[in-house]
């Protein structure tokens, strides 16, 4: 791991050789794709709902579900809490796994009410590590969803690891694919300054490059990150 001095052939990438590979990846991606403006949600509550609905699901399908919730005046804690699970499931149908996700949304609301009187703002004031552990105890919230909530809804400096992050980094020889969620996350945390804006943008950029270039080998060869493969080895 870590970056050694670049070879002469790599010196035209305008990276200084005290940068680590995670910083180089970020710089490359930002230069290529620009700001991603994540997370696309109007309120922290909407971001939380989106984080649960997007589990193993494309964002387009989630957007339809959120639109439905808004149209049904149901995008708020009280309505979701009071609504029968089957009615909620019907509204979020387009997001897939709708029965499971309806229960998960209700689980989160129960947690929010029980611990923070239904207030995202109160939840935000909780100690970060304590809150993360509590979130992981909620049925339907695993590490990625918890960290998405912490970073994108609450503005906490926690790096989100998702399928794209793993795919992009392992394709470029930065991290072994079978490393754990925590292994991946620890590498980001120890290699970068703990900065919410940086973590927000970085994860979104990894998704951007993953969506476009990590689908097939021919595209992989055109990936803007191909320059870091020899460095990462």
Partner DNA sequence: GACCAGGCACATC
Partner DNA sequence: GATGTGCATGGT
Minimum distance of DNA from residue 6's CB (angstroms)? 31
**DSSP letters of 152-184?**
IIT--------HHHHHHHHHTTSS-TTS-HHHH
Asked if the peptide bond before residue 39 counts as cis, ω within 30 degrees of 0, the response is yes
Asked whether position 57 contacts DNA by CB under 7 A, the answer is: yes
Position among 1, 128, 163, 219 found at the interface with DNA (CB under 7 A): 163
Residue list 85-124, contact with DNA (CB under 7 A) = 89, 93-94, 96-101
CA distance 223 to 106: 41
15: phi then psi, degrees, rounded to nearest 5: -100, 140
Position among 49, 88, 112, 146 found at the interface with DNA (CB under 7 A): 146
Nearer to DNA, 24 or 92 (CB): 92
Q: Inter-axis angle of helices 21-33 and 196-213, to 10 degrees?
A: 70
Asked whether position 142 contacts DNA by CB under 7 A, the answer is: yes
Nearer to DNA, 23 or 144 (CB): 144
Using the rule CB under 7 A, give the single segment among 10-18, 59-67, 74-82, 115-123 that binds DNA.
Answer: 59-67
Which residue, among 191, 190, 182, 177, has the nearest Cα to 25 in the 3D structure?
A: 191
Positions touching DNA (CB under 7 A) are 38-40, 50-51, 54-61, 64, 89, 93-94, 96-101, 138-146, 148, 152, 162-164, 178, 180, 207, 211, 215
């Amino acid at each position: 791991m870590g970056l050694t001095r670049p070879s002469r052939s790599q010196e035209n990438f305008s990276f200084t050789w005290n940068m680590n590979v995670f910083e180089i990846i970020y710089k490359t991606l930002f230069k290529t794709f620009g700001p991603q403006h994540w997370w696309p949600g109007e309120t922290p509550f909407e971001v939380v709902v989106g984080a649960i609905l997007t589990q193993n699901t494309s964002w387009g399908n989630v957007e339809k579900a959120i639109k439905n919730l808004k149209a049904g005046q149901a995008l708020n804690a009280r309505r979701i809490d009071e609504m029968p699970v089957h009615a909620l499931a019907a509204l979020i149908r387009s997001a897939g796994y709708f029965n499971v996700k309806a229960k998960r949304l209700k689980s989160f609301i129960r947690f929010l009410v029980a611990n923070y009187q239904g207030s995202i703002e109160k939840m935000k004031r909780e100690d970060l590590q304590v809150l993360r552990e509590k979130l992981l105890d909620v049925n339907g919230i695993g590490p990625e969803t918890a960290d998405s909530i912490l970073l994108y809804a609450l503005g906490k400096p926690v790096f989100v690891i998702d399928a794209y992050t793993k795919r992009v980094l392992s394709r470029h020889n930065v991290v072994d694919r079978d490393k754990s969620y925590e292994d991946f996350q620890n590498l980001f945390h120890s290699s970068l300054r703990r900065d919410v804006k940086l973590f927000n943008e970085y994860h979104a950029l990894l998704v951007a490059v993953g969506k476009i270039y990590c689908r097939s080998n021919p595209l992989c060869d055109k990936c803007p990150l191909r320059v870091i493969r020899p460095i990462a080895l």
